[in-house]
Each structure stands twice: as structure tokens, then as C-alpha cells.
Amino acid sequence: MKIFGIDPGSNRTGYGCIDYSGSQHRLVTYGAIATPPRASFPEKLRCIHSELVTLLATHQPACVAVESLFHARNVQSVLKLGHARGVAVLAAAQAGVTLVEYTPSEIKRAVVGYGRAEKQQVQQMIKLLLELDDIPTPHDAADALAVAICHAHQLTPSGTISADSVAGRPKQRNWRKVKPENLTTRGPS
């Protein structure tokens, strides 16, 4: 089963495709879509979308796995990342493939075994799991391969998502039901 992983970014979007046979990972391709530095933001999004559409048509994966948004302090960065992620989701939808999303901690836990693993640890595990001579570069490509491997580790031998992996995922929180008095705040460390 071919799994296509995407690590979205507005300046550089990583991608990686693996073939997973139930017990082995085999590298198909990886790289990064670098947008022109002086291009307008809409032009960067068009570039990302266009390249992803071409890559998905070329490799014809069974599914696409995307890293979901994480919390950041800079609102502008999160908005730009959300737009880049949106065009990646659109490309997958247009290709007619299944789309799955994983948080950064789920990806790290699936690849390294620890949800707070360092980037270097993830890259080293990618190298080992795919039996590569070197760590994939740029880091965005290694991250995309980690997303694809994370999804592979959630599958049963028949290629469906295992019930254990769904049960182990944290439940989505409905923030409208959270009462302010139930929240704890942290002071400066």
C-alpha cells in the first residue's frame, strides 16, 4: 500500500511516499516543494497545490497522511500554515484518496516511541526504518516520511486502521463546553 505523507509549510512543504507491506517500509520518493521567496502568498499556495497535484497523480497513493496543526505563539505563522495545510488537503481530495491527520506527538510516538522526541531522533528512526544510507533532507521531507510511517503503523495487515489505534487516540475536546473555572493556569516558570 502506498502512503503519501505531507508536512505542510508555506515556504517549504515536505512530502514523502512509502510502500508499506504490513511488515516492511520501502521508500518510493521524498523531497520538498520550495516556494519562490519573493512570490506573493497566494502564488506560494498555488505552487504548493500544483506540485502536490502532480506528485499525487504520479505516485497514485492509497491514502494521504497530513500533519495536523499544532499550537504556536505566532498567530500569523499558524494562519499561513493553516492555508498551506488547506491546499494539501484540497490536493488529496481532488486526487480522490483517503485523507488522515496526525498530531506531531502522535507521529513522534508512532516513529520513535516517545511523543516528545527530538527532531534528530525522528530523523534517525526514519533512516533506520527505511534502511537509508543518510538521513533524508531537508528536514521537511523527513517529517513527511514520518507522517507516512505513522499512518502505516496504525494499519492492520488488511490495510484498514486498527481499532486499537483509534481507541488510543485522544478524544477531540469541545472547547464550548469548557468552563473557565475548570481551567488551570500556569504562571511564569
Phi, psi of 176 (to 5 degrees): -70, -20
What does 24-74 look like in DSSP terms, one character per residue?
-EEEEEEEEEEPPTTS-HHHHHHHHHHHHHHHHHHH--SEEEEEPP---S-
State the Cα–Cα distance between residues 128 and 120, nearest whole angstrom. Answer: 12
Q: One of 51, 106, 140, 143 is an active-site residue; which one?
A: 140
**Segment 72-80 long-range contacts (CB within 8 Å, at least 24 positions apart):** 80/10, 80/41
Is 7 an annotated catalytic residue? Answer: yes
Q: One of 7, 51, 106, 143 is an active-site residue; which one?
A: 7
- Order the strands of the 25-34 sheet from edge to edge: 25-34, 12-20, 2-7, 63-67, 98-102
Is 181 an annotated catalytic residue? Answer: no
Q: Which three cell numbers stand for residue 10?
A: 508555506
Is 131 an annotated catalytic residue? Answer: no
Q: Count helices and strands (H / E) in the chain.
A: 6, 5
Q: One of 51, 67, 106, 143 is an active-site residue; which one?
A: 67
Catalytic residue numbers read: 7, 67, 140
